[in-house]
Amino acid sequence: MKTNSDADLAWAYIKGQKAIEAFDRREAGAQLRCVTVGRELERRRAKRFGESAPEVIDGEFSEAAE
């Protein structure tokens, strides 16, 4: 059984480069939408329940819990 050499892999990448780049763009767009939706949900949850902004929630606490 023949294994793929570096030249074979390079040829396959070059041949499919446009499809790979298109997939990467779609995936990046989907990830960006997911992050955006998550931030908006967190913002709305904080607003609904009267909590502080997510930036404050993610910060460090300087006081010890009693």
pLDDT at 1: 44
> 1-12 burial by CB neighbour count: b if 16+ within 10 A, else e?
eeeeeeeeeeee
Mean pLDDT across 33-52 = 87
Examine the pLDDT at 57 and tell me if it is beyond 50. yes
The domain ranges of the chain are 16-51
CA atoms within 13 A on the CB side of 42: 13
Mean pLDDT across 28-45 = 93
pTM tops 0.75 = no
